[in-house]
Each structure stands twice: as structure tokens, then as C-alpha cells.
Structure 1
Amino acid sequence: MIKSLSLFGAAIALAGVGVTPGIAATTAQPPVAGQVKSADTGKATTLLVDGSKKEDLAKTLVVLHNTKNTRDLGGYQTADGKWQIRHYQLLRSDNLNKLDSDDVKTFTDKYRVKSVVDLRTPGQVKSAPDVAIPGAKETYISILGPHAYTDGGGDGDFYNQRLTFGYPAITGYRQFLNMLAVNNGGSTLYHCSSGKDRTGIATVLIMAILGMDKQTIVNDFMLSQYTGRTVKIEWISQYYRDIEKNYGSLQNYIDTALAISPTVQAKLRAKYLVSTDGKQTPYPAPSEPAQPNPTPTLPSQPETPKPQPETKPEVVTNGDGDQVTKPKKKAKQVKILKTKKLHTKRVYRVKAHKPWFKDAKLKHAKGKTPKTAKKWRLVKSEKVKIKHKTYTYYQIKDASGHTAWILNKYVTKK
């Protein structure tokens, strides 16, 4: 899995495991249900326990006409039981494209929604745009990048690659969490298509920062199954397994991979936590460091630009003996002529020691194919024009979800 970080430009050095200040660390780990083989990956995975109950859904569900999976995070308690999430502040949801006037009124009047964060891809937003909520600012953060190759499936390694180590996910969740720390007035409503995968992981991160224990977080993730959505304990188990294998803990992943600063995490706790003693005492705000008096400085003088040597056009003699200016060479251009998605169940192999790339424009070479060829599936084909010649490249994907581009002549059938 570590290798996958370099593929997405998200390699982060491991650091020490952090402990949330002011909140007791997660206490006992939930019991495990043993080793099973995931139906999606075929790999042995230690499963967490699904402790969710259908009756628990009523404690968080926001009853609306045209959404099934809208929930208020208010009421969840920290691991030490001293603090809980404020009500009417953080709402997780599924698609908002079919809201009726009563649904909109619930969001505006009861929950005072002032910020809507759409975690879907641009194509999904275009095909099913949100119904506008008056007075709420809409922000679009595509967690899966420009395209969703699957939506609502959330299966196996692909699910975790995209939502855990994918570059759009890391940068997207970072932007989202930093937004939550500065949103002022009213509640924040965040959603994807089904309200369980991208939204589910966003909620895992929020609850971890606020101090909920792992079992509470897992139970909330699994509540989507009672709203007609498909979620599996294998998915969230694999998510935790991959993070803890590579970072030691979810907290360390938040600190290092997502790079959410201690100050931002402290602001999130101060903003969204209140005491459980009935007094609704706000969680202590972080102390702002004293700002030293700035030392006055003289205005800097602009640097005098260095004279650039004059470049004269190259003059050559043509076939008639006349001197003419030689035209400048045009920059090399790479043009994609056609892109096609491939739907094949056949397994292929790639020839060893052949160049492959991160994209079909050949800008970022990844190196050579390994000596031992893996089994791959074809995902896409692209016709690319390079120096007036046309080539066909295949995008190939292995069982772990790693993808690469390679010339079609280097791909052979099993």
C-alpha cells in the first residue's frame, strides 16, 4: 500500500502517533470477528464489529421527503464521555437534487444551513445539481477527482485507494476540514450521491478529530445500511487496516497525510463540542500565541533588471541564393485524439521492461514495467498524436487498483 502513495503524489513520512489534547484517547479496541476473505479482494481481513442498530438511526436521522440518508451528528459523545457534538451544526447527507419546498424549509428554518459542501464529481453535479438552499453558500470538492469510475459501490482495495490515498481525496478532505474550522453561523451540510462512501469517510475524519472512539465511528458509518444503502463492515475494516498499517493510527494519518494542524483540530473541537453535564459549556478555545511587535524595516528597493543578451534571428541561404530568416521550431505537441472506456473481463499481461506513464500525454514517466509481469485489466484506450504520428495507449489496472498507461503493443492476452 505504501507504493500507492507515490502513484498519487501523496507520500508522507511517518511521524509519531499523536494524542488529542483535552480528550481522552480511544480506550478499548472493539472485539474483532476474526479473519475472513473479502468478497471484493480475496484477501484475509480482520473485521471490526458492526455494533449499529436500526433503532439508533432515529437518534440522528433528519426526516425529509426526498432524501433517505440525511443525519445530524449532534449528540455523539467523546471517548471520555465529557463532551458531545453540538446539535444543528454538522449534517451529513445523500443527493440533494430532489428536495421539495418542505425539505428546503427544514434546512433553512430548523437547521439554519449556511454552507453546503458537495463532494461529488463535476459530471455527477452537472447531471443531478443540488436544489438551492436560500442563504447557503455552495462549495464543490470532488473527492474522487474529475471522474467517478464507480459510484455507490465502494468495493475493496479500489474503495480504499481512492478514498484513503488518492491525491484528490487527500487534498479534498484537507480543504473540507479546514473549511469546517472557519465556517461561521448556521450549520454545514455536506453530501455525495448516496451519503455513505465519500460522506461516510468525511464523517469518520470529523468524529476522529472531535474525539469519538473507533466503535462509535464505525457504528455511525454502518447506519447507512438502514436507509436502503449498501455498506459492508469489510470496507471500513479495510480502511482502518490500511491507515494503521501505514501511519500507526487514524490520528497520525490526519496529522501527517491530511496535514490538519493542531491549531485547526483545536478550533474544530472548540466549535463543535459542548459539555455533557447539561450546561452545554463550550469546549475551551485554543489560546492564540502572542504576536511580537514587528521590527520596522526600510522599504526595499526594487532590483534593477539585468540586461538580457539580444537574440538575433538565424539567417540562412535558400535554394535561390537569397538570405532568409529561418523560422523558429515549434514546441513539440502531444494531442489526444480519442478516449474510449473499455469494459472487458479478460485478464492481460504486460511485457517486461517497457515504459509506462501516469497519463497518456506522456508527461510523467513512471519507469519500466517489472520483470515479473502482473495480471491487468484494460480500463481505457486513447489515441495520441505525437510528432505527427498516431499511437494507441491502454490504461491498465491491477487487482490493487494501481493504474498506468502503456503502448497497446506491449499488452498481451493472458
Structure 2
Amino acid sequence: MEHNRLVTFDGTVNFRDIGGYENNEGKHVKWNKIYRSDSLSSLTKRDEEKLEEMKVTVDCDLRTSNEQLMAPDRQWNGVEVLDCHVYAEDSSGNFVNDSHKLYRFLHHIPKVNSYLGEIYQNVILSPASQKAFARVFASLLTLPENEALVYHCSAGKDRTGMTTALILKGLGVDEHTIARDYLLTNELYTFGLKKQLPSDSEMIKMVNRMNVTEGEGTAIEGITQTIDSGYGGFENYFTQELGFSKQDLKDFRKLYLE
């Protein structure tokens, strides 16, 4: 069966399958199960029909309440849209600075040498954000075998990138691979300016030439290093902060690795 990293729609530029990545045990993330995307508010009728054919039945919206209100997701037959807003909000749906630098200090979590990486670090330490991430994982743990899930923000970069990093980290994928997947968003928007989308072979070339040790490539360390150095690994973050059990993690890996 042919698999494509980029899934093309009329109303998106950054809808991707996160399947196929190899983990530290030589297993691979299953294709056609977990998708990441930019906004789903501009989907066409044809897009909706395609998503229905793909059996995408859960849509985790990572955007703020106000973003969801201003540009609501298009809904296709059989889909359940879940509010999984990542950023802390007040009662009016406005963004709240939910910084956890003190928490980081008390738990001996090292500072990341990247401005964006530090933001990501603060986000995954935020109880409000952890609640959103937990809802995504809970949805994945209960997703029927023949169905798929998509999660997204507005551009499909920051909030979606953080969520992807946690999912791939949970599946045992290495940091460099996670960073390369994260950086693909920049490449796709560059292609978007040219009014064309890359083929799968072009995307493979993009990944191979990426330098994940410089610039934005280091941002994802805000997640991977925080989990490894601050918690001693994903299992501890998953159980201590997201509220799941060790068995849940085993089930998660069994569901999405092959």
C-alpha cells in the first residue's frame, strides 16, 4: 500500500501523516492513523468527503477558544470535534501567561538555549497545556482500530509541533527525527508561496538536508530535553503530568507501532 507523508487538500497546505517513522526498537509508527494539520476552517466539500473516506473520526482542535469561534472547523460526516486548546485561557477565552519557570527550577529542569525552545518548555510544564495533551492521548487510546485522528492549530507548526513531538516521543522516536518532522512545516509554507506542493520524493530530500542543530531546529529540544533531563524519560512525564498509567503507555505503543 502506498503511503504519503503529505496529504493534499484544497483547503490546507500542511496536512501530514506522522506514520512511517522508526523508533528505538526498530518498529515504525503506523500509517493512516494519526494526522497533523494546519487550520481546518477552509475545507471544501471535496475535502470533507476525502476525510470521511480516510475514516478520520476525531478532530482535536488545539487552538484557543476565540480562534475556534472566529474560524470554526468544517465538519464532515462522522467526525467529533474536541476542544483541546493548548494555551492557558481566562474565563473569556483570552490567552494567559502560564509561565512555570519556578517549577522548572524546583525540579532541576535545565534551561534550553533557544528562545522558542524555552517557550515550548514552559508550555509542556503548564497544567492547562498538559490537560490538552492528555485529551489528545486519551482520544488516541480509545480510537477504534479502523479509524483515524487529526489534531491541528492554525498554521500547524507550534501547538501542532509540540503535540507531535510528545506523540512521537511516546512512541520512542529519536530527537533528530522529531525535529525534522517539525521543520517540514517551514518547507511546506515555502512551497505554498510558489502555489505548488512537493511530491513525496521532494519531501524526503527536504528532510535529508535539514540541519536540526541550528536555528529553529533546536526549538524542539524544549520538549525532548525537558522530558529526558527533567523527568528521566517520557514514561514519567506521561504518568506524573498527563495522568496516565504505565499500562496506558504500553497500550499506546501497541496501538500505533508495527
TM-score, normalised via structure 2 length: 0.74
In the alignment, what sits opposite 1:67? 12
Q: Distance in 1 between matches of 2:117 and 2:179?
A: 17
In the alignment, what sits opposite 2:133? 173
Q: Distance in 2 between matches of 1:124 and 1:208?
A: 28
Asked if the contact 2:183/2:216 (under 8 Å) is kept, the reply is yes
Asked if the contact 2:38/2:152 (under 8 Å) is kept, the reply is yes
Aligned length: 210
Q: Distance in 1 between matches of 2:240 and 2:184?
A: 29
Asked if the contact 1:95/1:192 (under 8 Å) is kept, the reply is yes
Asked if the contact 1:69/1:224 (under 8 Å) is kept, the reply is yes
In the alignment, what sits opposite 1:41? none
Match of 1:132 among 75, 96, 121: 75
In the alignment, what sits opposite 1:216? 177
Deviation at 1:59, TM superposition (A): 4.4
**Residue deviations 1:282-340, cap 9 Å, x none?**
xxxxxxxxxxxxxxxxxxxxxxxxxxxxxxxxxxxxxxxxxxxxxxxxxxxxxxxxxxx
**Residue deviations 1:94-117, cap 9 Å, x none?**
1000011121122111x1111111
- The aligned runs of 1:1-400 (5 Å cut-off) are 59-81=4-26, 83-109=27-53, 111-146=54-89, 147-148=94-95, 155-161=116-122, 163-184=123-144, 185-228=146-189, 232-274=216-258
Q: Distance in 1 between matches of 2:20 and 2:64?
A: 31
Q: Distance in 2 between matches of 1:261 and 1:190?
A: 23
Q: Tell me which stretches of 4 or more aligned residues in structure 1 moved more than 4 Å.
A: none
Could you say what secondary structure the match of 2:220 adopts? helix
Over the aligned positions, Cα root-mean-square deviation in angstroms equals 2.2
Q: Note the residue ranges of structure 2 that are not aligned, 5 or more in a row.
A: 98-114, 191-214
**Residue deviations 1:16-37, cap 9 Å, x none?**
xxxxxxxxxxxxxxxxxxxxxx
Asked if the contact 2:30/2:256 (under 8 Å) is kept, the reply is yes
Deviation at 1:188, TM superposition (A): 0.5
Pair 1:268–1:248, CA change in 2 (3 A): closer
- Which of structures 1 and 2 has the bigger CA Rg? 1
Deviation at 1:234, TM superposition (A): 3.1
Q: Distance in 2 between matches of 1:159 and 1:77?
A: 24
Q: Distance in 2 between matches of 1:248 and 1:104?
A: 42
Pair 1:267–1:250, CA change in 2 (3 A): closer
What amino acid maps onto 2:237 in structure 1? Y
Pair 1:74–1:238, CA change in 2 (3 A): closer
Q: Distance in 2 between matches of 1:86 and 1:198?
A: 22
Percent of pairs identical after alignment? 28
